[in-house]
Structure 1
Amino acid sequence: MLVVVGSVLRAPFPMLVLQILVAAAAVVFLLRELDLLSFPLLQNARLVPQFVTRIPFWGAVQFGVEMGTGMRTYSPTGLPHIMAVSIMFLASWEEALMAGAGFAAARALMLLTFAAARNKMEADTAFYFTLPKLKVLFAVLAVPVVTMLVIG
């Protein structure tokens, strides 16, 4: 969906303008990760809604699209938003599919780690308290990825 919308939005602009736009967005989100900027993330911080089970097909489709794009869940970090902006303005279909597969694998890994934990409350608490300590590391690790996305 991001590639489709992006294809329309990026059409009138030269590549250099799009690269600058994505780089600027990436810098803003990285500054947020480092707590140098503060703003709410675009997200829909809800879990599985009850209405999905009452609407046989379309409720599940809507939930799948929202969950697959990361817009139907709590997001403690803005780093996936950098990827979304990059996909919208710079990615090909193939790159968007690879990014989606990577996003799905990362989400699955987090859930599998939680499911494998012996004590779910301790795992949840560790995630809640450990994530803020790892934010800087994740931001630093995102810099080469963002650079590759922009220069690509």
Structure 2
Amino acid sequence: MLGVFTAGLLLGGTLSALVLWSASGLTSPLPAGWWAPITVGAALLGVARDAGLLALRLPQNSRQVPQDVLQRDLVRGALQFGFEMGTGVRTYVSASLPYVAALAVLLANDLAVALLTGLGFALGRAATPALRFASGAGEEWDDRLQDRLPLLKVGGGAVLAATLLALALR
């Protein structure tokens, strides 16, 4: 079922990427040199938010995909559950990083960037259940993840901010 779930994640991430890329034409009036400073600034705000230095509400649907999706039909349910999580629309996203990535896709107006970002988001979401399953001790793995989640959120945002800054300065 993990493979079906991951396929759903990849489909959902790809769809979201294509929607963002389609909407990116709306940002074309912005001067070309603006996308990098705006995105780097958003990444820095995201790092500050994830570090608890800044209180910002994220625009999101703050609920999980219902568990009954899996109970009706396991294969179709796993695909649907993955798809909904992959879109990032009908699920809770606690970190700022996906929002910064979405902004970067909107401002870059580049199909390859959009698709790679969507696939990266989906694979990032797929990593959690895959690693949990591979650990052989799901409850213990959950506890370790919970302890490290703040560092992972801030670290991921900092890496993205540094990468965007390096791209902007080249």
For the aligned pair, the TM-score class normalised by the smaller chain equals: 0.7 to 0.9
Read off the aligned partner of 1:89 and give its amino acid letter. L
C-alpha distance in 2 between matches for 1:85 and 1:144: 16
What does residue range 28-39 of structure 1 map to in structure 2 within 5 Å? 28-39=45-56
Whole-angstrom CA distance in 2 between matches of 1:51 and 1:104: 19
Q: Determine which structure has greater relative contact order: mean sequence separation of CA pairs < 8 Å that are 6+ residues apart, divided by chain length.
A: 2
Pairwise CA distance, 1:145: 2.1
C-alpha displacement of 1:62: 10
Note if 1:27 corresponds to 2:44.
yes
- The answer to whether the Cα contact below 8 Å between 1:3 and 1:93 also exists between their aligned partners in 2 is yes
Q: 1:85 to 1:149 in 2, by over 3 A?
A: farther
Within the candidate set 118, 127, 137, 1:119 is matched to 137
Contact 1:63-1:72 within 8 A present in 2 as well: no
TM-score, scaled to structure 1? 0.76
- Give the TM-score of the pair, scaled to structure 2: 0.70
Tell me what 1:18 maps to.
35
1:1-152 equivalence runs, <5 A: 1-7=19-25, 9-44=26-61, 45-48=63-66, 50=68, 64=83, 66-148=84-166, 150=168
Deviation of 1:141 (Å): 2.1
- After superposition, the C-alpha distances for 1:9-60 in whole angstroms (9 at most, x for unaligned) are 2122211233333232222112112221112223323124647969xx9xx8
Gaps of 5+ in 2: 1-18
Percent sequence identity is 27
The gaps in structure 1 that reach 5 residues or longer are: none
- Give the CA RMSD over aligned residues: 2.9
Structure with the larger helix share:
2
Size of the aligned set, in residue pairs, is: 146
